[in-house]
Structure 1
């Protein structure tokens, strides 16, 4: 079954999250999977079981308690976010394998820019020389996946210094711009999609927002 790709642009986090929940609750075995490509205005999100102690100082950036896995992270303009609405039952793999496949799609994407990156079995995400360039956070409900990944392209990284990113004190964060890559979120998205297609073994179709 093919997967629909939706380019939603710059959208607020909370209504997008609620739309993901509604999509997941309303789908059945015939519903095509979807990937939503977005950017968000500045927002901190705190996963299930996340601890507010990982917010290191008060800021004017809103905090949303959400239902993905993981601790606290930051989203802002210049960061590519891909939400993966996937029928997990169809894939017939485990959660760890799903995470590994998503990480590998990201590793392959940044490799196109000449950057060597790696995943980490103990701390999901993608890293370049120990600095995190991409994060993952997923939720599985009724046999379906939602939430997804974020990849830092060309953004203000300062808010990451106001948190323990993903719950790790002192974790360094990087982005394509700081690694010498002058590109856009849309261009990176175009490079990422074929790798997601390959690693998630689907055929993709474009769809209007």
Structure 2
């Protein structure tokens, strides 16, 4: 077995799944890769995918925030945060980075994720940002002045200083599906997507923006 330092820190590998991936399958694959990274047997990896319609519960999820009138599958995710929707038209990014070589600072890592998504959205013509006391990426709600709409969710887990889970960016999902939960426990603000904001970007264009912006937040190629 190689030592954890045997894999030199270079650019993470990128994997893009063309077909929706079942949630249990994705969790099993992530867990396998994270264990290999912790053992020094694999390098950093970023996996871009979509899921079939489903809800996931983070460690702070409350039962009263799930309504689920369509009967979508629900899963305990093991990540931080509350209830999140995943489904077609949403780009999910599972980010497996080695914080042993990136400062061992979880707060800085989360800020890096936020900065990365802000930069990617800026490339796509969306001005998004963070909000004090609220997790995720937000834009001003054009339909309701003074309110915000969430365009991206963040939920992370760190095992032996290896990150997994990551983010979900709303490209063109069915926004009605979010009615099955209180997204991330926030009742007073809505959700939106790139297409809902007038940006008809393809998933390939979103992926390109993510790949081009990664180094702005995390360094490397």
Q: What TM-score comes out, normalization by structure 2 length?
A: 0.87
Contact 2:33 2:42 survives alignment (8 Å): no
Partner of 1:83: 94
Partner of 1:2: 11
Partner of 1:206: none
Partner of 1:135: 153
Cα deviation code 1:9-41 (max 9, x no counterpart): 221112101211111122234631000010111
Q: Stretches of 4+ moved more than 3 A in 1? A: none
Partner of 1:155: 173
2:73 is aligned, of 48, 56, 62, to: 62
Rg (Cα) greater in structure: 2
Structure 1 residues 121 and 100, CA, compared in 2 at 3 Å: closer, same or farther? farther
Q: What TM-score comes out, normalization by structure 1 length?
A: 0.91
Cα offset for 1:119? 1.2
Aligned length: 203
Matching of residues 19-98 of structure 1 within 5 Å:
19-27=29-37, 28-29=39-40, 31-98=42-109
d(CA) in 2 for partners of 1:98, 1:143 = 11
Q: Which runs of 5+ in 2 are unaligned?
A: 1-9, 141-147
Cα deviation code 1:60-117 (max 9, x no counterpart): 2110111111000100100011110111111105222111111111111121233211
Partner of 2:7: none
1:14 aligns with 2:32: no
1:202 aligns with 2:220: yes
Cα offset for 1:121? 4.2
Contact 1:117 1:128 survives alignment (8 Å): yes
